[in-house]
Amino acid sequence: MGLIGSNWLVVPIVLPLATATLAMLVGRRSAPYLGLLTASGILLSVAAIGLTVLEEGTIRYQLGGWEAPLGINLYADGLAVFMLLMTAIVGAAVSAYAVGYFTSRQDESGRVAGDSGDRSGSFWVLWMFLWASLNGLFLSADAFNLYVTLEIMGLSAAGLVTLERRQSALSSGMRYLFVTLLGSLAYLMGVALLYGALGALDLATLGELMYPGAATWSALALITLGMALKTGLFPLHFWMPAAYSNAISPASALLAGLVGKASFYLLLRLWFDVFDGGLGPGPGQVLGLLGAAAIVWGAVMAVRQRRLKRLLAYSSVSQIGYLFVLFSLATTASWGFDAWSGGVYHAFSHACAKAAMFMSAGAIVRSVGHDDLDRMQGVGQQMPLAVAGFALGGVTLMGLPPTGGFTAKWLLVSASLESGQWWIAVVLLAGGVLAALYVLRFLNPALIQVKVGPVARPATQNLEVTAFVLAFGSFFLALLSAPLLALLRIGTPFASVLLVGTP
């Protein structure tokens, strides 16, 4: 593969870090251009990494040439590239959206509304740090490095929530900060225990040395709790609705789409690469059960909401449940890879769809000036693109073909039937119908026609278009199932299963 090939791995981390630093210096006028440039750079480098991994298999890169355990290793397998790709796509869309978001805010009546316009510079700085930490997290091959990226991610995400000087934003950002710090500390405690027991930090080495014992069990429990808290698994989701709905919309899109997926990825990585599927079937069953409860509870709560962005936040509670059911399904049996890849596929499609929906919601809230669901009449007439984007994203949440949600649901349902846990299949399928109900909770009022005169409203054309494009693209994600699943096969912990499965 050569030196050039593995050097690519550094680009998606270093590039946004450099931009973040630069953006602090250049101020808010040039920051958007810098951001867009970085976004395209990351897209390119991720594509290059993806192609290399597809052709030549997994890549390992040693920073500065230092070997583990002292050196820092970067490692790209199919799963890591998959997550990088998801982040690059959603990140690029949100970047484009943010450009429109902050300019349209300033254009309004010639002056900056509140003091929030000043924050656009900070947005780019924080978002670039967040992006660097996300990419770093997906590529890290050692447990402590993961902690560092996790903390940078948590801090910059909390910064994004508190970007606006509004009491609700500040208080939910504060709560989110506590939650994310607590989650990282639990993780670090787990890592300390692991190091104490096994004397290694490199994930592959940890996996080889793993044995069930008091220390490793406690480490598993601490790490799982910490990550479940950060991801917002029922019943640890208490912080989520406020944080998602009170942040500005680009930040909501990033939080719901990407940040939650990163902590889930970390759990997935450790659970299957290090803890050998949860050190026995029990812990996985517990997570699966909580996931199933989340699907139902989140959807029921979403239907009962009166505010658009809170509806979306509760929908995330429900959708996160889909991710966690995989822990009770993915075992070394023949359906293990189906369940694992189904969950990961769900993460991808949900990230795109939910980000697009938050972006649509942001455009709508910006335009009508409130997010009261009962006063949405006529929105469909005024902003057809935003409503269409929301609806297309909603179809992914329902898990209908040809969206990525369908591929995920097919794989998960198939795995749950094959493993004999048919009750999970029932919950997964019912969740789709519940999702339709909460999507309609918005669409029903929004599509009702009212007679409205021409109202002066802020220009949101750019926002609507970006949201729609992302939603439209994610609508056809099932058609890419074959190549994406092939990517996931590279370096999967279920390689042994696949060897048996394929003729």
Partner 1 sequence: MSFAELLPLLVILSSALASFVIFFLRDDRSRLRTSIYLGGEIVKLGLVLVMLQGIYVGAQYELRVPLLPDIDFLLQANELAMLFLILSAGLWLLTTLYSIGYLRHAPNRARFFGFFGLSVSATAGIALSGNLFTFFIFYELLTLVTYPLVVHRETPAAMRIGRQYLVYTLGGGVVLLAGIVSLQLVAGSLEFVAGGTLTGDEASPAILIAIFALLIGGLGVKNAFVPLHSWLPAAMIAPTPVSALLHGVAVVKAGAFGIVRVIHEIYGIELAAELGVTLPVAILASFTIIYGSIKAISQDELKKRLAYSTVSQVSFIALGVSLVGYLDTVGGVAHLVHQGIMKVTLFFCAGVIAETIGVKYVSKMGGVGRRMPWTMGAFALGSLGMIGVPPMAGFVSKWYLGVGAIEAGQPWVIAVLVTSTVLNTVYFLPVLYVSFFGKPTGEWQEERPHTRFEADWLLLFPTLAVAGLVFLIGLFAGWELSPLGWAELIASRQWEGQFGN
Partner 2 sequence: MSPVTFYLLSSVGIFVVCLYGLIVHAHLIRKILALNMMGSAVFLLLTGVARRGELTDPVPHAMVLTGIVVAVSATAFALAVARRLYEECGRAYLPEEDPEDLSEEREG
Interface residues with partner 2 (CB under 8 A)? 69-70, 105, 108, 113-114, 116, 144, 147-148, 151, 155, 158-159, 162, 165-168, 170-175, 177-178, 181-182, 185, 188-189, 192-193, 195-196, 199, 201, 241-242, 248-249, 305-307, 310, 362, 365-366, 369-372
Residue 185 near residue 225, CB atoms below 8 Å = no
Q: Which is nearer to partner 2, 112 or 465 (CB)?
A: 112
Residue 402 near residue 478, CB atoms below 8 Å = yes
Examine residue 429 and tell whether it contacts partner 1 (CB under 8 A). Answer: yes
Residue 330 class from Cβ within 10 Å (0-12 exposed, 13-18 middle, 19+ buried)?
Answer: buried
Closest CA to 163 of 193, 202, 137, 124: 124
Number of H helices, E strands in the chain: 22, 2
Residue 236 interacts with which of partner 1, partner 2, none, CB < 5 to 8 Å by class: none
Examine residue 36 and tell whether it contacts partner 1 (CB under 8 A). Answer: no
Q: How many residues are recorded in the chain?
A: 503
Task: Please give the helix or strand (H or E) that residue 274 lies within, else none.
Answer: none
Give the list of residues 6+ apart from residue 176 with CB closer than 8 angstroms, or none.
157, 158, 161, 239, 243
User: Half-sphere exposure of 93 toward its Cβ, with a 13 Å CA cutoff?
Assistant: 32
Q: What is residue 222's three-state secondary structure?
A: helix
Q: What is residue 74's three-state secondary structure?
A: strand
The backbone region for 78, taken as left when phi is positive above 0, alpha when psi lies in -120 to 50, beta otherwise, is alpha
Examine residue 448 and tell whether it contacts partner 1 (CB under 8 A). Answer: yes
- The 112-131 contact track toward partner 1, x by CB under 8 A, reads --------------------
Residue 485 interacts with which of partner 2, partner 1, none, CB < 5 to 8 Å by class: partner 1
Nearest-approach distance from CB 329 to partner 2, in angstroms: 32
Residue 41 interacts with which of partner 1, partner 2, none, CB < 5 to 8 Å by class: none
Q: Which is nearer to partner 1, 253 or 427 (CB)?
A: 427
Q: Which is nearer to partner 1, 363 or 424 (CB)?
A: 424
Q: What is residue 136's three-state secondary structure?
A: helix
Examine residue 343 and tell whether it contacts partner 1 (CB under 8 A). Answer: no
Q: Which is nearer to partner 1, 14 or 54 (CB)?
A: 54
Residue 462 interacts with which of partner 1, partner 2, none, CB < 5 to 8 Å by class: none
- Enter the tokens of residue 58: 């997994």
Examine residue 400 and tell whether it contacts partner 1 (CB under 8 A). Answer: yes
- Enter the tokens of residue 45: 């480098």
Enumerate binding residues for partner 1 (CB under 8 A): 338, 380, 395, 398, 400-402, 406-407, 409-411, 413-414, 417-418, 425, 429-430, 432-433, 436-437, 440, 444-445, 447-449, 478-479, 481-482, 485, 501
